[in-house]
Structure 1
Amino acid sequence: MFHPAACSIITASIAAPFIDPSHLIHPLNPKDQSMPRPAFYRVLLSLCVAGLLFSSGLVLNAEDSGPVFRAGAATSNITPPLGEMIVGGWKPIPATNVHDELHARCLVLDDGNTKLAIVLCDNVGIPEEVFDLAKQQASDATGLPFSNMLLASTHTHSATTARGGLKTANETELTNYQTFVAHRISDGIRRALANLEPAKIGWGTVEEPSEVFNRRWFVTDASLLANPFGGIDQVRMNPPRGSSKLDRPAGPTDPEISFVSVQSPDGRPIALLANYSLHYVGGVRSGEVSADYFGYFGKFIEEKLDATDQSPPFVGILSNGTSGDVNNINFADKSPQKHEPYEKMQEVAEKVASRVFEAHQQIVFHDWVPLAVEHTTLTLKTRQPTPEMISHFEQINRDDDENPRSGHRREEIYADRITKILAGPKEVEIQLQALRIGDLGIAAIPFETFTETGLELKDRSPFQHTFTIELANGSFGYLPTPQQHRLGGYETWLGTNYVEKEATTKIVASLLEMFQTLQEDN
């Protein structure tokens, strides 16, 4: 703006008043005699001082404004071709129709120093190798650190599988669909990054207890407690509804819905990420692909926030909390209401979206909050069949008059799983992750996690608000607590659960340590 030589000369003139200005040449044009030299220097001095003050003001304003918080969101379609196998029931069936499309829903946050990506995929469970491929592709294309991406499955039971044959085995050769999903996830992250814009962020919680019920029950009839290994459990998953043989649930529920919302500075919704500790709802027609209530939530919250027909589009996301032992069936109800296909999942999604929308009106939005992430790996031993289990299935395989089948309808399924476990690895390395968004903490666990684990993390977390996203960065089966292991039941059976019985204790300790580090470092 001002010639530095001129300002230097003027400064020198001020510092040395005894110098006769008439002996100095015009600093910008020595031949110009249109202005007497003393008058010229007075004008130039004024301009230099004004320029210095103006420049200083710019620096102070830049320092006062600080880093800019930004957010971006996008979706990628991950719907498979018809004919792919739908998993979620005991026996996979081919997809014959698509009721509603499946998506990877992506949110990227940037505090000016750290970028985080959170992606929820409409799938029952995606193995670590598929997520890792997606992260590597996104990182190679954008420079986003591998550890700063949290990728998870919603656990819809009406999507085709991206899993392999054994949850603890490394996937060395990915299927076409697995490769497709990885590419679409990385595409979604890249598009969300491209959509980054200045944003404000807020979060909150609200409760919806009417749709969460612990599905593990103590019962008074031992015939309801047989397991596929020839033994008797203490609790039963999904007992007969309204039965007089029901005693009490074997664990708690968590009715809390946590959510994070990002908006443009003028209040235009960009994305909303919610978390609810409820399993899939189901109620689909056989052979149909659906995102379950997770997909409907995205649609309903978009409508309630009046965020339709935007560019870029608003993205509503619902993640699965700790719901390994919770579904929406009230087993004590003797007269359950019957629902048409897709009716119940819409009912649940409407309730969750309505409650979030009500609470959304009260949250405080922040122009800037710090972001941080901790990521670690943990090695766990895999459970191995006992000699009694092996003997039991050997007898079943003989299936003669002296060794009749025990009659449990899942024996053959678990006999096959035990065979695979025997040939599988003796330990597994899992990824754990902890995120910080202001005074909100998010834990990421690659298992179907029991509710009491999520409640423990909320209770012991150093952050004001905390929630857990399950089936994140992998899919290794169910994760009962040591106490629930002692009670038995479907979620604890070897072949449903694959890792050591103390795994929950080790995982909680690791996550709490990461939370503490995040709090201390910021």
Structure 2
Amino acid sequence: MESIKIGWGMRSITPDKPVLLAGQFHDRIADRVRDPVMVTAMAIEGADGEQAVMVSCDLVGIEDHILEGVRARLRNDIPELDSDLVILNVTHTHTAPTLKGFIESRVRPFLTCPREYPGIMTPDEYSDLVIGRIVEAVKEAWLGRRQGGLSWGEGYAAIGHNRMVLYHDGMAKMYGNVDSIFFKGFGGPEDHRVEMMFTWDQNIELTGIIVNMACPAQIIEHESFISADYISEVRELVKQKWGPSVHVLGTIGASGDLAPRDLMRNKAHGKLEGDEELRAAATSLVRAMEAGLETTGRTIDTNPVLKHRVRNVSLPLRRVEKEETERAISQWEAFRNAKESQEDDLVYFESLGFARQMEIFNDWAVQNHYHRLRQHAFYQMELHVLRIGDSALVTNPFELYTEYGLQIKARSAAKQTFISQLTCGSGGYLPTASAIASGGYGTQLLSGAVGDEGGRLLVEHTLEAIQSVWQDPA
């Protein structure tokens, strides 16, 4: 019986010039590289010709023009590959360069005081580099696919923690003070499960690991150098343990309200810093890989069921009332008038402090969202469901709150479910109803246009998509 075919490819997307970094509300120029940012591709083809290519990128998000540019070039370069079946996800590192589209759609309208930086690689230039390197990695993976097999493992690594501190008045604050008499708990659950898929060649040699964990790669999010964060440390540890030819493809699970910061432990023992913190997270994750490989991960299937389906899903946008919009317009105009009367509007804006800046950002977002609702009431997204054996990988473009991910895993028809957020798009945060009621970062319109109504529907669409590839396994 012919076995499944698997191929791997990898390319650096590290710029060779200073570059503007993405992931914060202030500008950071990186002129050095701590570790390279990469794209890693895994191509898989079933005996019946079913296809999938998964690509993990050390970026903060997948902009639409990146997805469209990659697929357009692949249609020309590899016509036998259905480019619509190429799945792009990000690890959400906050120390990767800014892409074209990120400034225009997210940062500059908020900042209102744009700066020019001569001598850096522009977002347009970097976007072109990223598209080209992703295409190269996909081509290497697709053209290099060979007969092999897959196995699966499960484990635990406590690296993602809820960052929304909840107080007795019902309000929540990101990274709030836990050493307070008003501390009640945290705003939502955590998910320390690690899902793993191992790829093998015909000689039963390990060739790669797909790892899925509910924790974005943002341990060193405020730094001004280029880094893939803890994912880079994981790659190095995997090379040391299993050899330099073993690839790692990281996918980030539902973790919109999580971060690699244990606020309770930090209070008692102090926060680890920099390299030490990165190594600790990577070591925990690689230990889970070791355990998964040694327990169930060596049971190899050379001809697993492979099904890949893509759905276009419409989710309702969050509602905003006219009164709220009018209030936001009034407050936004008051800010604009005050700013324009200043001798240096940038200094004035920066003097307001983060909390006030967030209020201004949200006023801007509310009025724009109100006008958007009058034209289009839905957010259009691409949902992939990939069945490989008894496991399912499902995607969404959001920073999806963990509660939704747990609902999907609990009700999934698959024995093991990989959830890949920030995939094939960047839809912003998708909070739950309780999170919206408590407030705090990630729950306002400035952070995302889809709310809990859309979140509940996304869960149901995802579960139905998983069920559909279980009904007819032939």
Point out which structure has higher relative CO (alpha carbons under 8 A, 6+ apart): 2
More divergent stretch after superposition (335-344 vs 187-196): 335-344
- The letter of the residue matching 1:515 is I
What is the alpha-carbon root mean square deviation over aligned residues? 2.6
1:327, CA displacement in angstroms? 1.5
- The letter of the residue matching 2:59 is N
In structure 2, relative to structure 1, the CA distance for the partners of 1:256 and 1:89 (3 Å cut) is same
Matched, 1:151 2:88: yes
Distance 1:359 1:246 in 2: 37
- The letter of the residue matching 1:138 is L
* TM-score, normalised relative to structure 2: 0.85
Counterpart in 2 of 1:357? 290
Counterpart in 2 of 1:429? 380
Matched, 1:477 2:416: no
8 A contact 1:284–1:342 mirrored in 2: no
8 A contact 1:319–1:469 mirrored in 2: yes
8 A contact 1:298–1:317 mirrored in 2: no
Name the SS for the 2:295 alignment partner.
Answer: coil
CA shift digits 1:216-266 (9 cap, x unpaired): 12124x7xxxxxxxxxx7211110254444210111000100011001122
Write the mapping of 1:30-429 to structure 2, written as runs, cut at 5 A: 65=1, 67-112=2-47, 113-142=49-78, 143-162=80-99, 163-164=101-102, 165-166=104-105, 175-209=124-158, 211-220=159-168, 234-240=171-177, 242-283=179-220, 286-304=223-241, 306-308=242-244, 313-333=245-265, 334-363=267-296, 364-383=299-318, 386-399=325-338, 409-412=354-357, 414-416=359-361, 418-419=363-364, 422-423=367-368, 425-426=372-373, 427=376, 428-429=379-380
Name the SS for the 1:443 alignment partner.
Answer: strand
Which structure's CA Rg is the greater one? 1
CA shift digits 1:202-226 (9 cap, x unpaired): 11211123x2321112124x7xxxx
Name the SS for the 1:391 alignment partner.
Answer: helix
Distance 1:295 1:205 in 2: 21
8 A contact 1:71–1:270 mirrored in 2: no
8 A contact 1:454–1:467 mirrored in 2: no
Count of residues paired in the alignment: 433
In structure 2, relative to structure 1, the CA distance for the partners of 1:513 and 1:174 (3 Å cut) is farther
8 A contact 1:276–1:320 mirrored in 2: yes
Give % identity. Answer: 22
1:419, CA displacement in angstroms? 3.5
- The letter of the residue matching 2:287 is S
Distance 1:235 1:292 in 2: 27
8 A contact 2:56–2:88 mirrored in 1: yes
Name the SS for the 1:248 alignment partner.
Answer: strand
Name the SS for the 1:468 alignment partner.
Answer: strand
Matched, 1:519 2:451: no
8 A contact 2:328–2:367 mirrored in 1: no
Name the SS for the 1:87 alignment partner.
Answer: coil
8 A contact 2:66–2:127 mirrored in 1: yes
Distance 1:510 1:478 in 2: 18
Name the SS for the 2:198 alignment partner.
Answer: strand
1:286, CA displacement in angstroms? 3.5
Distance 1:449 1:301 in 2: 28
Distance 2:413 2:174 in 1: 34
1:411, CA displacement in angstroms? 3.0
1:101, CA displacement in angstroms? 0.6
